[in-house]
Amino acid sequence: SYGNPPVVRLFTHWKGDIDVDLSLALFDDGFSMLEQVSYTNLRSDGYGIVHSGDVQNAPRGASEFIDFSPERLLAQGVRYAVAHVISFRGDGFNTFPCFAGYMERDRLKSGQKYEPQSVALKFDVTSRATEHLPLIFDLRAGEAIFADIAGGKGRHRNILSQEPVVAQTARAVLDMPRTRPTVHDVAMLHARARGNVVDGREEADTLFDRD
């Protein structure tokens, strides 16, 4: 869970003659996209989202940010805010330094770009892919879900062209806890397929135990 901050600041930082694009896609309960903010749409006045601007080369290192208010988005019918990072010219993330994450801020445009005490999550992006889905915010549940999903090796893509893939991937991440079997589920399937489940340890020929 995130701390219900007035503003969440998504960020990505990289170094090299590389064009990295940070995007945010907004979805309703049924995963229909309501809005997107990216280099194709640097601000959304309707949803109060601000993008820092499109940086196309970073020989000395550069960052992109997106600021949004979880409370405002939720009040306007947004259920999920999905972050997306693209290496626009097709360079794999494993070929240059790159990291991403989010900060919890007290208001828009407050303080410095990076304030260590406001960073809630930061991680390296090192996959061989050219697209990365790092985070999903479930605004109704108040949860920031660390997805860390790599995908694709294309060039010149953006959140608009990848919207169906982003929506499908985000839905799969959210469904995973409900569909992925636990160790108990697997043990019960084995027991029922190969024998009988008994009430006491003394009656059992085979035990599945944490120890």
Q: The whole model's pTM is what?
A: 0.80
* Token pair in block for residue 174: 């959210």
What pLDDT is attached to residue 135? 95
68 with 44: CB under 8 angstroms? no
The segments of the chain whose pLDDT lies below 50 read none
What pLDDT is attached to residue 133? 95
84 with 162: CB under 8 angstroms? yes
Tell me the per-residue pLDDT of 53-69, one tens digit each, with 9 for 90 and over.
Answer: 999 999 999 999 999 99
What pLDDT is attached to residue 118? 80
Residue 132 makes CB contacts below 8 A (sequence gap 6+) with: 84, 85, 86, 93, 100, 125, 148, 149, 150, 151
* Strand (E) or helix (H) holding 172: helix 163-179
What pLDDT is attached to residue 100? 96
